[in-house]
Chain A
Amino acid sequence: MKRAITLLSFGAILAFASTQLLATGNAENGKQKAATCFACHGVDGNSIDPQYPRLAGQYNLYLQRVLHEYKDGQRNNPIMKGMVATLSDQDIEDVATYFSGLPSKLDTLKGHISGDK
């Protein structure tokens, strides 16, 4: 019995941990809220102006992290500060989920360094 409880609690912890990692944003809501982002970052999340980053296919949790950093001032950018000011935590999850799910031109460096391939 004791063992079963231990196992069960491990299972519960794992389940909880994995939902945290999956980040439960809603892409459809995110698309609505991302309307102001499109001017610079593109409707498809692939900014044409090279000074703005491509967002399409970037990691969901990285995008969330960055939006929070702009919001709390840890990352300082006047344009983005204004943009995120009105976003709630849920909005941030939704917008990040939307952009991270778009077809991407981004990749990790795997296979792109000297000596690879």
Chain B
Amino acid sequence: MTRLQLLGLAAATALFAATSVHAEGDKAAGRKLIYTCAGCHGVPGYTNAYPQYPVPKIAGQNEQYIVNALQGYQSGDRKHPTMDAQAQSLSATDIQNIAAYLSSLAK
């Protein structure tokens, strides 16, 4: 086997490993965790105050986007007083589980 083929194989393995790291959340565990979320995200047409705009629909949202959003609140890349506080209470596994459950709700 040439060196190039070996490199390709290594790259493919790395890629596979990276993709299988996420998207393995536990939906049932996620469902238990989103009880708090429903206080705002479970009320159709509910609006955030100061500034006033609707709280987004998150059931059926894409999995990795949910993960990125929650991690963003944790790291401070994304800011929202309530969501910053909520995200701080979540472990990395909690986030995977929440994302798995929410994305499974797509209509």
Q: Could you list which residues of chain A lie within 8 angstroms of chain B, going by C-beta atoms? A: 47, 49-54, 57-59, 61-62, 64-65, 74-76, 104-110, 112-115
Question: How many inter-chain contacts with C-beta < 8 Å in the A-B complex?
Answer: 99
Q: Chain B binding site: helix, strand, loop or mixed by DSSP? A: loop
> Bound complex: CA of A62 vs CA of B107, how far in Å?
20
- Shortest beta-carbon distance from A16 to chain B in Å: 15
- Shortest beta-carbon distance from A82 to chain B in Å: 17
Residues of A within 8 A of B59 (CB): 106-109, 112
Flag if A105 contacts B60 (CB, 8 Å). yes
Flag if B64 contacts A51 (CB, 8 Å). yes
Q: Could you list which residues of chain B lie within 8 angstroms of chain A, going by C-beta atoms? A: 23, 31-32, 34-35, 37-38, 41-46, 51, 53-65, 68, 77-79, 103, 105-107
Flag if A108 contacts B34 (CB, 8 Å). no
If the complex has contacts A107-B105, A108-B43, A113-B38, are A50 and B54 also in contact, measured as CB distance less than 8 A? no
Flag if B53 contacts A105 (CB, 8 Å). no
Select the residue from B35, B45, B53, B78 with max chain A CB neighbours within 10 A: B53
> Bound complex: CA of A49 vs CA of B95, how far in Å?
19
